[in-house]
Amino acid sequence: MLKSIRLVSICLTIATSFAAGALLPSCKNGERKESVRIALASNFLPVAEDLAVLFERDTGVHVELVSGSTGKLYAQIVNGAPYDLFLAADRERPEKLRKGGKTIGNVTPYAIGSLVVIGPSFPNDAVSDWKNLKILEFKHLAIANPDIAPYGRASVEALRYSGQFVDLNGRIVQGENISQAYHFVSSGNAEIGIISRSQWMKDRAKWSGSLVIAVPTDAHEPIEQCAVLLTENQFASQFLKFLGSDKATETIRATGYNIP
């Protein structure tokens, strides 16, 4: 069985507690501020922060971001978490919400993700093919939890495709989401990790000279990241349209994603 390591989920702006008072939009001078509350897959958090700044600058609407694994956010939404928009790292969960009558409108793809292997403990020429990771001497390979994180599921699919899963299974450690898997590697708790390309691009100067190998996209099912509206909040609808704008897609593409 895969070993699992639990860490506290990353949250921005609001806590994961769903007490009504804790999740009211921020106020100033007694007036409620226009806002939109977005639940998003942790891999997309860095670019979402940039997009939120652009959106707030253009509209004056405050964007609240809560990040975590797609599976956990999905469970929160099913149980009534008051989010306005869901930016998942797959199509499966948004489609389930739509079929369950919990959404407004259709499911919209907004980004296509990909994987890279990083190994700070190894030089960049340690292996030339990602299929040869099993020949390296290391104790821990970090991935996201495949049961709740699409990037983790894609990582397992890629390892199986390459014929390495059986050999490496005993060395795999799981983060709850792809951000935690990345933390394991960057903190030195895992010598190798399979992370999103966007995470590597954000910190690529940090990994200069280290082992970095792209995982071919045909080694796993496409990581099609999809969005869905959860409420009739007009600003959520406005943000979803903004994701498809030239300004937003340019930012998304520049951070390591492909555009659907």
C-alpha neighbours within 13 Å on the C-beta side of residue 178: 33
Query: 165 pLDDT exceeds 50?
Result: yes
Q: Which residue type does 106 have?
A: N
Architecture of domain 8-112+223-254: 3-Layer(aba) Sandwich (3.40)
The domain 113-219 is placed in CATH, from the list 3.30.565.10, 3.40.1050.10, 2.60.120.200, 3.40.190.10, at 3.40.190.10
Residues 236 and 229 sit within 8 Å (Cβ to Cβ): yes
Q: What is the largest CA-CA distance in the chain?
A: 63
pTM, two decimal places = 0.85
The pLDDT value given to residue 182:
95
State residue 33's pLDDT score. 58
- What is the tens place of the pLDDT at every residue in 36-92? 999 999 999 999 999 999 999 999 999 999 999 999 999 999 999 999 999 999 999
Half-sphere exposure of 177 toward its Cβ, with a 13 Å CA cutoff? Answer: 21
Answer whether residue 26 shows pLDDT above 90.
no
Q: How far apart are the first and last CA of the chain?
A: 35
Write out the residue limits of the CATH 3.40.190.10 domain(s) in the chain. 8-112+223-254, 113-219
Tell me: the pLDDT tens digits for 108-153? 999 999 999 999 989 999 998 999 998 999 999 999 999 999 999 9
Express each pLDDT in 194-228 by its tens digit: 999 999 998 888 888 999 999 999 999 999 999 99
Angle of helix 45-59 relative to helix 246-254, nearest 10 degrees? 160
For residues 113 and 259, what is the distance between their CA atoms, to the nearest angstrom? 9
